[in-house]
Amino acid sequence: MSIRLGYQMPNFSYSTPVAELFPTVIAQAREAEAAGFDTAFVMDHFYQLPGIGEPEEPMLEAYTALGALATATERIQLSALVTGNTYRNPPMLAKAVTTLDVVSGGRAVLGIGAGWFEFEHNSFGYEFGTFTDRFERLGEALEIITPMLRGTRPTVDGKWYQVKDAINEPRIRDTLPILLGGGGEKKTFGFAARYGDHLNIIANASELPRKVEALEQRCAEVDRDPATLETSFLAFVMIDEDGDRARKLQTDYLRAQGVDLSSLSPEKRAAATDRQFVGDPDDVADQIQRKVLDQGIDGIVINLVTNGHEPGIVDLAGRTLGPLVGK
């Protein structure tokens, strides 16, 4: 398993009738596959997130959508970025992702994290708990899910979860990859070092040198060679052949979130755009290379939150970024 170039779809607000929504999702996944992306991701949320849109904007349930994408694609890996552990019983999640693997012919990746969106938990009736609670639960969940994906039958009598000889059949392989996603240098990075095949770092680009150093420390603590844990970075990309149009997309997007770039100091402007890579293909390639890959990150997962649903934009991003990561 390798994720050097991933495409995340965080936005289903396409200004189309609901009947046309999922065909647009399929079109993006197929375009990503043809453009050399190795993994297609959806978010595991029930409401749209702050900073992207309003809660009532369209949001699809992740594993139902991924199962449908499995039948509409042929080669691209499929995953949630990332599954909220708090939303599902761990053996049920193991069964769901294993079923996705069977349906897709061995293309599923389990992306998982502790969960963080309190409003969503409260609205749907899921226990949110404290920061410590959520990471305790994630640790116990991984003790259950990992052996179930590998073909053994765990028995766990934990604080949060209890299973007895939990069976997970059928499986198409015993090597279904586990991706941890997040920015927590102690908890998330520690679980990645212990359980993960991949770590997707969700943070500001300016923080990456410190994040890489922290990950090396977590790997050392469990006597793991950090070279055996592949990494990627989640980037908001706004790209167009016309760089001015891409920059206008960024300005309009941020204005909709209540941020007026023209009124910010250079320092605040840099902070507001730290995860964003904007311009024509040359601009975006240069920014990704300098700010992400040159910092020791192996790959890049992008979303195209402003215009990814427009035909040709995913292809443009793939052609721009693929050569940087050997795709």
Portion of the chain with pLDDT greater than 70, in percent: 100
- Under the phi-then-psi rule, with left for phi > 0, alpha for psi from -120 to 50, and beta for the rest, what region is 100? alpha
Are 230 and 299 in contact by the 8 Å Cβ rule? The answer is: yes
C-alpha radius of gyration, the chain, whole number:
19
Q: What is the pLDDT of residues 103-115, one digit of tens each?
A: 999 999 999 999 9
Assign 1 a pLDDT band (cuts: 50, 70, 90): low
Higher pLDDT, 262 or 293: 293
pLDDT in tens, 40-56: 999 999 999 998 999 99
The whole-angstrom separation of Cα 184 and Cα 64 is 28
Nearest 5 degrees, angle CA 165-CA 169-CA 170? 165
Whose structure tokens read 């991984």?
Answer: 142
Using an 8 Å Cβ cutoff, are 261 and 269 in contact? yes
pLDDT band at 327 (very low <50, low <70, confident <90, very high): confident
Sole residue written with tokens 């970024």: 321
The pLDDT of residue 95 is above 70: yes
Helix axes 21-34, 62-72, angle to 10 degrees: 60
The one-character DSSP state at 321 is H
Angle (nearest 5°) at CA 12 between 78 and 288: 65
Distance CA 13, CA 143 (A): 37
Average pLDDT value for residue range 218-233: 98
* pLDDT 10s digits, 135-154: 999 999 999 999 999 999 99
* Overall pTM > 0.75: yes
Please tell me whether residue 278 adopts helix, strand or coil conformation.
strand
